[in-house]
Chains A and B, each alone.
Chain A
Amino acid sequence: MDFDLSEEQQLLKDSVERFVREEYPLEKRQKLTVSEDGFSRRNWATMAELGWLGATLPEEYGGIGGGPVEAMVLMEGIGRGLIVEPYFSTVILGGNLVLRAGDAARRHDILPKLAAGETMLAFAYVERQARYDLFDVETTAVRDGEGYVLTGAKGVVCHAASADWIVVSARTAGASRDRDGITLFLVPNNTPGLTRRDYPTVDGLRASELAFDRVRVGADAILGEVDNGLVLIEGVAEQAIAALAAEAVGCMDVLLASTNEYLKTRQQFGQPIGKFQVIQHRMADMFIACEESRSMSYVATMRLSDPDPELRAKTASAAKVQIGKSARFVGQQSVQLHGGMGMTDELNIGHYFKRLTMIDTMFGDQNHHLKQYAAFR
Chain B
Amino acid sequence: MDLAFSGEYREFQNNVRAFVAANLPQDIREKVTRGLRLARDDHQRWQNILSAKGWIAPGWPTEYGGTGWSAVQRYIFDEECSRAGAPGVIPFGTKFVGPVIYTFGSDAQKSYYLPRILNNDDWWCQGYSEPGAGSDLASLQTWAVRDGDHYIVNGTKTWTTLAQWATKMFCLVRTGTEGKKQEGISFLLIDMAQPGIEIKPIVTFDGGREINMVHLTDVKVPVADRVGDENRGWTYAKFLLQHERTGTAGVGHSKAQIRRLKDIAAREKAGGRLLIDDPDFRARIAEVEIELQALEYTDLRYLMQVAAGNPPGAESSLLKLRGTEIQQRISELLMQAMGYYAQPWLPDALEYGWNEDPVGPADAAPLAAAYFNKRKTTIYGGTNEIQRNIIAKLVLGL
A residues neighboring B (CB under 8 Å):
126, 128-133, 136, 155-156, 177, 197, 199-203, 207, 209, 267-270, 273, 276, 278-279, 332, 335-336, 339-340, 342-347, 349-351, 353-354, 357-358, 361-362, 365, 367, 370-371
Q: Which residues of B contact A350 (CB under 8 A)?
A: 204-206, 372
Q: Which residues of A contact B272 (CB under 8 A)?
A: 133, 136, 177
Q: How would residues 199 to 243 of chain B score, 1 for a CB under 8 Å from any chain A CB and 0 otherwise?
A: 000111111000100000000000000000000000000000000
A155–B339 CA distance with the chains assembled, in angstroms: 11
A133–B273 CA distance with the chains assembled, in angstroms: 12
Contact between A268 and B135, CB atoms less than 8 A apart: yes
Contact between A197 and B359, CB atoms less than 8 A apart: yes
Any chain A CB within 8 A of the CB of B74?
Answer: no
A278–B280 CA distance with the chains assembled, in angstroms: 32
Give A126's nearest chain B residue, CB to CB.
B340
Give A338's nearest chain B residue, CB to CB.
B379
Size range of the interface on B? 35 or more
Any chain A CB within 8 A of the CB of B383?
Answer: yes
Q: Which residues of A contact B134 (CB under 8 A)?
A: 268, 339-340
Q: Which residues of B contact A344 (CB under 8 A)?
A: 202-205
Q: Which residues of A contact B383 (CB under 8 A)?
A: 336, 339
Any chain A CB within 8 A of the CB of B342?
Answer: yes
A105–B120 CA distance with the chains assembled, in angstroms: 73
Any chain A CB within 8 A of the CB of B68?
Answer: no
A136–B202 CA distance with the chains assembled, in angstroms: 43
A279–B360 CA distance with the chains assembled, in angstroms: 40
A130–B273 CA distance with the chains assembled, in angstroms: 10
Query: In this complex, which of A270, A343, A346, A367 has the most chain B Cβ atoms within 10 angstroms of its Cβ?
Result: A343
Contact between A155 and B340, CB atoms less than 8 A apart: yes
- Minimum C-beta distance from B194 to chain A (A): 26
- Minimum C-beta distance from B340 to chain A (A): 4
Contact between B339 and A132, CB atoms less than 8 A apart: yes
Any chain A CB within 8 A of the CB of B17?
Answer: no
Q: Which residues of A contact B270 (CB under 8 A)?
A: 131-132
Q: Which residues of A contact B389 (CB under 8 A)?
A: 278
- Minimum C-beta distance from B78 to chain A (A): 25
- Minimum C-beta distance from A298 to chain B (A): 27
Give B344's nearest chain A residue, CB to CB.
A199
| Given A336-B379, A353-B372, A365-B336: A201 touches B343 (CB 8 Å cut-off) | yes
Q: Which residues of B contact A207 (CB under 8 A)?
A: 343-344
Any chain A CB within 8 A of the CB of B281?
Answer: yes
Q: How would residues 254 to 281 of chain B score, 1 for a CB under 8 Å from any chain A CB and 0 otherwise?
A: 0000000000000011111001000011
| Given A336-B378, A367-B280: A343 touches B204 (CB 8 Å cut-off) | yes
B residues neighboring A (CB under 8 Å):
129, 132, 134-136, 139, 158-159, 202-207, 211, 268-272, 275, 280-281, 284, 335-336, 339-346, 359-361, 368-369, 371-372, 375-376, 378-380, 383-385, 388-389
A209–B344 CA distance with the chains assembled, in angstroms: 10
Q: Which residues of A contact B344 (CB under 8 A)?
A: 156, 199-202, 207
Contact between A156 and B281, CB atoms less than 8 A apart: no
A316–B388 CA distance with the chains assembled, in angstroms: 38
A349–B135 CA distance with the chains assembled, in angstroms: 20
Taking A201-B343, A279-B385 as given, write out 16 further A-B residue pairs in contact, using a Cβ cutoff of 8 Å, ordered by the A residue number.
A131-B269, A131-B271, A156-B344, A199-B345, A202-B368, A202-B369, A202-B372, A269-B136, A278-B385, A336-B385, A339-B383, A343-B376, A350-B206, A357-B335, A361-B342, A371-B280
Contact between B269 and A361, CB atoms less than 8 A apart: no
A345–B281 CA distance with the chains assembled, in angstroms: 32
A346–B158 CA distance with the chains assembled, in angstroms: 15
A132–B278 CA distance with the chains assembled, in angstroms: 13
Q: Which residues of A contact B159 (CB under 8 A)?
A: 340
Would you mind naming 19 contact pairs between A and B with Cβ atoms under 8 Å apart? A131-B275, A155-B359, A156-B340, A267-B132, A269-B136, A278-B385, A278-B389, A335-B375, A339-B134, A339-B379, A340-B379, A343-B204, A343-B205, A344-B203, A345-B204, A350-B206, A357-B335, A357-B371, A361-B336
